[in-house]
Amino acid sequence: MADPMRIRANNKDGVTEVRVLMSHPMESGARKDASGAIVPAKFITDLDATHNGKNVLKAMFSGAVSQNPFLSFKFKGGAKGEKVTVKWVDNKGETRTDEATIA
């Protein structure tokens, strides 16, 4: 299982800003290791962020995204004390879900 995501969510003037740091190797499948063998592809393919059960962001990634990707986005709404949930799925079927409280 992957390490937890670091998520920060802050609301100011009715707009919530969410910053997410994901721990993931994001291997494209094109790199070779020291012995010359191809490192198998392993990367996040889908990401969903929800607030109160409503989707506020849906993203599709590929192997072209760097290791341990950082994502920042804003949405209207949200209040201090409410939760924002972020979930990703990679090409191997592994998933990770974490949440943060809006400050």
Q: What is the mean pLDDT of residues 62-90?
A: 96
Q: Is the pLDDT of residue 88 over 70?
A: yes
Answer whether residue 74 is part of any domain: yes
CATH code: domain of residue 95: 2.60.40.10
At 71 the pLDDT is: 97
Please write the tens of the pLDDT for every residue from 31-69: 999 999 999 999 999 999 999 999 999 999 998 999 999
Residue 1 pLDDT level (bands cut at 50, 70, 90):
low
Task: List the beta bridge partners of residue 90.
Answer: 44
Total-model pTM: 0.92
Identify which of 94, 95, 88, 90 has the alpha carbon closest to the alpha carbon of residue 7: 88
Number of domains in the chain: 1
Contacts of residue 23, Cβ cutoff 8 Å, sequence gap at least 6: 2, 3, 4, 5, 68
pLDDT-derived band at 2, boundaries 50, 70, 90: confident
Report yes or no on 1 lying in a domain: no
For residue 69, give its domain range.
6-101
Per-residue model confidence as pLDDT tens digits over 4-29: 999 999 999 999 999 999 999 999 99
Residue 102 has pLDDT above 90, yes or no: yes
